Structure formats: structure tokens, C-alpha cells
Amino acid sequence: MHKKLKKFKLSYMLFSLTVAISMLFSPLSYNSKTLAADSYPQDASVNNKVNFNTDVIYQIVIDRFSDGDTSNNPKGGLYDSTKTNLKKYFGGDWQGIINKINDGYLSDMGITAIWVSQPVENIYSVFPDGSTSYHGYWARDFKKTNPAFGSMKDFKNMVNAAHAKNIKVVIDFAPNHTSPADRDNSSYAENGRLYDNGNLIGGYTNDTKKLFHHNGGTDFSSIEDGIYRNLYDLADLDHQNSIVDSYMKDAIKVWLDTGIDGIRMDAVKHMPQGWQKSFMDTVYGYKPVFTFGEWFLGQGESDPKNSYFANNSGMSLLDFRYAQKVRQVLRDGNDNMYGLDSVISSTANDYEHVNDQVTFIDNHDMDRFQKSGANTKNVDEALVLTLTSRGVPAIYYGTEQYMTGNGDPNNRAMMSGFNKTTNAYKIIQKLAPLRKTNPAIAYGTTQQRWINNDVYIYERKFGNNVALVAINKNQLSSYNISNAITALPQGNYKDVLGGLVSGNNISVDSKGTVSTFTLAPGACAVWSYVATSNSPMIGNVGNPMAEPGEIVTIDGRGFGATKGSVLFGNKTASIVSWSDRQVKVKVPNVSAGKINVSLKTSSGIQSNIFENYDVLTGKQVSVRFVVNNANTQLGENVYLVGDVNELGSWDTSKALGAMYNQVEYKYPTWYFDVSVPAGKTINFKFIKKNGSKVTWESGNNHVYTTPTNSTDSVIVDWQN
């Protein structure tokens, strides 16, 4: 054995003398190959809209990407043909994106999804300071497209062009608000007016239909304050208003009908979670697509309400904790690899499905990662990290061109060029395909294998599939790495990046120890092992929340070619389709709640257990629960609990709240907007909680029948 190992090492050394021969030295040649789309059609992006784990998203500010049709460019003060006044439209459009899809710029990079800024019609006003709606967040008609980007037909052409290249399309959607408004001045901008496919519904002043909140601007002091007051000066929609509720649920269907594959929900922290859950139920009941929300967190910030949202709304989130930490460690230099490792493990703890959260290193609301004048190594390292970490990576347009710019709008300049030979472009090109070929990257766990202040070596593992990644952020010093343990099987491994970021090859002995090696200054390396046969492993179940009877998709490995069985909780699901890597099932009629999903192959081999799958009681509607005269002691808050899963099934630890009492109603009245099953008679009570101390409302249960559609509110007195 010893001898054999020595011989192995010798041949390794000899072979590595020449590049040409080194191509042969891996006994497992697929360990280093960059594979294109393989023979499993279900892994192709566009055939699976409820699972983005194998994808790499590219975020595009439409106006700033590529102008493919000058005839649609806005006129007058809206537009700047010199592309220097960053507050104005620059002309980017659907045709520009189509051109870049068709010329291979995106697919050659390995991009398998684009996220475009909000596509809906925006206001046409030009503000005194020159500001315009080029960013798309100042909507006026959510059922039409912004003519500056082209027609609805052009949009559909773009979706089709993307799909033809195996690229998914995600749209930004911002139902929190329309556009800037001034309650004292109806002629300010467009007065926040909302249109329904061209027909005026109403505006912010003289709001007779009560479409909007009129509670002033938020000071961000609490979640409630941020939900029910205006975000900046943006006219804040009231989602409990039945017109707004059905308008938004209809509007998203207009876009789902175009064939989009995903939604990025703007400002989810600023809308009631109950309404958003009912919105997601609508999406999943109509044309399910992967949806991720934006809940902004600053550097060092973490918030249990953020993970509660990701775990209970039916939506994933943009992973701001991850992004902010990567920026601290690899951009700003005010934390080290221990900080990064600790965020990786705490987020894995806090998010029930950490692989579904969307990772990024910069976006249109942050300074660009590349600092002006700095070398480009930090961007390279951050890209390697993001592309091989848990979570779905989203790359902001231009990061691959090392674009710079601090703050909004400097971080949203016109795309600087489409150079396919930058190091960053080539890094993405090498690593993006790994998300499809090595399921350890898409679905795996993360384990730290070697660490100091500058070096982070982590391993992703899914069944027997393994990826080991090493990053040295110190650009001046190399490190000697010895005694690193890995799950990679014995053998030699080439750096998947082929030395692009100064990485090296490694060998692993029979005990799983990596041979001592030198990690060069600023080096990143990725070593990958794809198992040839797999025992059954579930990687993802999408959509993440469903009503009984809805069809969901189970992705993974080793399910076998012939039909086995699937359990949701203790009930058997009926199988819609079965293949080795993908099974579709109908969610059985289990009692609602978070349940385990598991699978058995036809030969009876049991899979891992996929935990916390969210089954609903049935179709959801948003209801405002209001309780008057609920006086509390200091430290006490009022919660809602009832006899359906959506109300915690009488479990006080799952009661809804703390309820609010500052904005829409004031103490001692408490209110909360909750997603509940439609058309159902429910029993509920309010409770007072102080830490673990619970005080029940006395008297009989409140009894209430929820609406079959639309929204409602139920108002009762606290029973002393």
C-alpha cells in the first residue's frame, strides 16, 4: 500500500511537469472537465421553474444593459443619449437583452437565469432634480410593460429567446407601492396613480377607494412602522384592500402567462407577511415559479424575523447576511475567514432551506464590489466563493467586467462592455456548469475543513458527491496547508479553475488526508468529485409550500429508473412521473404543517429525509384580525392562536404575532394580517405572552368563517 502510494506520488510529480500530460493524470477524468448540459433534460434550467439550486442568476438593470432598439428610447427630459446623467433613461431594452442572449454572451459565461428589473409600466414624470423611473420601481400599471423597454410582444420574444438558450427569466416585482407622491399636492409627479391595463383605478390624494396607506413615511423604527407607512415617498398600497389584493394577484398572472420562471419580490420587509403568503399560494396554485424576496439587512445585522419570513412565507430571500459578510471579509477587510465561516454555519441553522436562499456580492443598492483603482483579485475570490457556496448565486451585471461605482445611481452605470476574456468572466464560465454537474454544489451541506484568518477551505457534500474549495484572501503570503481532511475519495484532483486564480492540484490519500500543499497568495482552487452511482438523496422539493393535491417536484440523485414511492409525513403521495433524478408527485391529503418528505426506490432503498416541507390547509386568503381593549402589562404582547395550522393549531409557541398596535390601530387595540384557509369556519382566541408566560383570553372561542376569495377583517373585543 505504502509503496503504491509512493509510486502514485512520483508519477504525479512527473506528469505535472508538462501541461499537456497533466491533462491525463487524473484517474477520474470527469473530476476536472467542464461539462456542458448533460443527458438529463430535467436538469436543464427551463424545464424546472421551482428549483433554482443548479442555476446561476445574472441580475440586469434593463435600462443599463444594452440598447437594442433606439426607436423606443424615451424622449425629452427622460432620456440622456450621452449616458452620463445616471438619473435618466439610457435606452436599454428587451431587444438589447435578446441580442446578448442570442450572441452567446450570457450562455457562454454559464449563466442559466436572468433577473431583470421591474418590467411594468412606470411613471413618465421627470423630477426637478432630474430623477426618472429608469430603475423600474415607480410603477403605474402592473399589467403593462414599460414602453421604454419595448412591447409586451418584445418581452415574450425575450422570454422565448432565453428559453431557447436554456436561460430562465426572473422578473422583479414591487407590489408594495406605486410611485412617489405628496399627500398635500396632487400634482406632484403622477400622484402615485395606479392603472389597470390602462384604466385609472385611483391616486394618492383624494383616495376614495382607500387603495393606499396614509400614515406618513416610515422611520424604520419597527417592522410595523415599515409595513404600514410609506417607504421614502412611495405611495404605499394597502394589500388588505380587496381591489389591491385582487389587482396584484391578477397582475402577477399576466406575467406568469408570458412564461417567466421566477419572481424577485421587492421590499418584502415592507408588506404584511400574511398577504404575501396568500400571494405565494396564488402563484403556486396558478403557475408555480421560484420566488425570492428582498429583506435588506446591513453589515453585521441579523434578524430572527428575516429567517422566520424565509421559513414561513413560501418565498426564499436574498441572503443579505451572506452578502454583507463576504463584503466585509473579501472587499472591506474588516472581518476574517472565521467571521465568514460563522455566518455560513449560523445561516445554515436559521434557514430551513439554506440552499434556496439567493447569494450575491453586490447589487443595485450597494457599492459595487470592485473598488475603483484596486486590483481585481477580490472580485475573483468572491466569485469563486459565491459560485461554490450553498445558495443560488446571483451576479450583478458588469461585475464580470469589474465595473465600479459607489452608491445609487453610480452603481447602475451603462454596461461597460461585453468582453469575454476578463478573468471574472472566465471564472464564472468554469464554475457555473459545476452547479449542474456536481450536486454537492447545488444541494450539498457545507463543512469547514481548514481555516485561519486568511484561508478558508470548505467542503460541499451531497451523498458521495463532493466539492472541496480553498480560498486564500491574503494577496501577499502563501500558506502551507497540511492535514486537511476531506471526503474526496483517494486520488488526484485538478483545480477545476485550471489555475485561473493561482490554484493548485491536490492528491488525497486512502485515509482522506489531502497531501500537504502550498496555497499561493490570493489563490482559489476547486476540487470536484462526482459519484458514478448514488443511493437515493433528495436535494430539493419545489415549490416549497403547497396545498394538498398540488403537484410538486422532487430533485436529487439515485431515485432509480423505475417507480418507487414517496411519503409526505406518513401519507403516500401519488406519483405523476419518476426518473433517476426527478420525481413529480401530488401532495397527499395530510394534515397541514411542516412535514418530512422521503422517498423509497423500487428496490426499497430509503432516501434521506427532506425536512420542513410546508403543507397548507388549503387555498389562502389574507384576513386582518383585530382585538379591542387588550390591555397589557409591560413586557406582554398579544398573539393570535386558533384551530388551523395557519393559526398555530392551538400551540401557543406557534401563535401569530406579536400583533401590532401603533399604526393602523393603536393600543389597546391590536391587529395582525394573517394568511388563513379560504371559506373555512375557524375557532380562535387571543393570548398575552411575556417570554414563556401565556395568559389566555377567557370566554368561548371566537368563531369566524373566512371568505372564499379576496380579503376580510374580523374585529372582536378581548374577553376578560
Q: Which residues are catalytic?
A: 266, 294
Among 365, 549, 635, 708, binds ligand NOJ (CB under 6 A): 365
Contact 131, 89 (CB under 8 A): no
Rg (CA), the chain: 26
Binding-site partner at residue 270 among ligand NOJ, Ca ion, none, CB < 5 to 8 Å by type: Ca ion
Q: Which residues, listed in sequence order, are joined to residue 117 by a DSSP beta bridge?
A: none
- Least separation in angstroms between residue 87's CB and Ca ion is 17
- Among the listed residues 270, 435, 449, 494, the single contact to Ca ion using CB under 5 A: 270
Between 188 and 458, CB nearer to ligand NOJ: 188
Task: Tell me which residues in 510-529 interact with ligand NOJ (CB under 6 A).
Answer: none
Instruction: Name the minimum Å distance from CB 50 to ligand NOJ.
Output: 24
Interaction residues for Ca ion, span 31-90 (CB under 5 A): 67, 69, 72-73
The verdict on 232 binding ligand NOJ (CB under 6 A) reads yes
Binder among 332, 408, 636, 717 for ligand NOJ (CB under 6 A): 408
Among positive and negative, which fits the CA dihedral 46, 51, 53, 54?
negative
| Part in contact with Ca ion (CB under 5 A); list of ranges 55-63, 229-237, 589-597, 668-676 | 229-237
Q: Is 224 one of the binding residues for Ca ion (CB under 5 A)?
A: no
Q: Please, what is the minimum distance in Å from the beta carbon of residue 88 to ligand NOJ?
A: 12
Q: Is the Cα dihedral 218, 219, 224, 226 positive or negative?
A: positive
The helix (run of H) or strand (run of E) holding residue 547 is none
Contact, 121 vs 147, CB < 8 A?
yes
377-388 helix and 423-431 helix, angle to the nearest 10 degrees: 10
> Is 110 one of the binding residues for Ca ion (CB under 5 A)?
no
Classify each residue of 539-571 as buried b or exposed e, where b means 16 or more C-beta atoms within 10 Å of its C-beta: bbbbbbbbbbebbbbbbbbbbbeeebbbbbbee
**Interface with ligand NOJ (CB under 6 A), residue from 213, 229, 364, 430:** 364
Site for ligand NOJ (CB under 6 A): how many residues?
Answer: 15
Instruction: Count CB atoms within 10 A of the CB of residue 195.
Output: 19
Among residues 461, 441, 460, 459, which one has the least CA distance to residue 451? 459
Residue 232 binding: pick among Ca ion, ligand NOJ, none (C-beta 5-8 Å cut-off by kind): ligand NOJ
Shortest CB 317 distance to ligand NOJ, Å:
13
In 3D space, the residue among 23, 17, 20, 28 whose CA is nearest the CA of residue 531 turns out to be 28
Residue 88 binding ligand NOJ, by CB under 6 A: no
Site string for ligand NOJ, 284-323 (x = CB under 6 A): ----------x-----------------------------
- Told to check if 267 binds ligand NOJ by CB under 6 A, we report yes
Of 174 and 271, the one with the shorter C-beta distance to ligand NOJ is: 174
| Least distance CB 178 / ligand NOJ (angstroms) | 10
Reported as type and span, the H/E element at residue 537 is strand 537-542
Q: Which is nearer to ligand NOJ, 339 or 409 (CB)?
A: 409
Nearer to Ca ion, 78 or 694 (CB): 78
Judged by beta carbon, residue 180 or residue 642, the one nearer ligand NOJ is 180
Distant-in-sequence, close-in-space partners of 421: CB < 8 Å, separation ≥ 6? none
Strand 681-690 and strand 693-696: pairing? Answer: antiparallel
Q: Give Cβ neighbours of residue 682 (< 8 Å, ≥ 6 apart).
A: 642, 643, 644, 647, 676, 703, 704, 705, 706
Binding segment for ligand NOJ (CB under 6 A), chosen from 28-36, 100-108, 227-235, 592-600, is 227-235
Q: How many CA atoms lie within 13 A of 429 on its CB side?
A: 17
Interaction of residue 234 with ligand NOJ, rule CB under 6 A: yes
Report 113-152 residues binding ligand NOJ (CB under 6 A): 135, 137
Helix (H) or strand (E) holding 612: strand 610-615
Query: Which is nearer to Ca ion, 270 or 377 (by Cβ)?
Result: 270
Give whichever of 98 and 123 is closer to ligand NOJ, judged by the CB atom: 123
> Smaller CB distance to ligand NOJ: residue 65 or 610?
65
Q: Does 69 bind ligand NOJ (CB under 6 A)?
A: no
Q: What DSSP state is assigned to residue 229? A: S
At position 483, the amino acid (one-letter code) is N
Q: Which does 174 bind (CB under 5 to 8 A by kind): Ca ion, ligand NOJ, none?
A: ligand NOJ
The sheet that has 199-202: what strands, in order across it? 120-122, 139-145, 194-196, 199-202
Closest by Cα among 719, 640, 652, 646 to 685: 640
Residues that bind ligand NOJ (CB under 6 A): 135, 137, 174, 180, 231-234, 266-267, 294, 364-365, 408-409
Contact residues toward Ca ion (CB under 5 A) are 67, 69, 72-73, 91, 93, 176, 236, 270
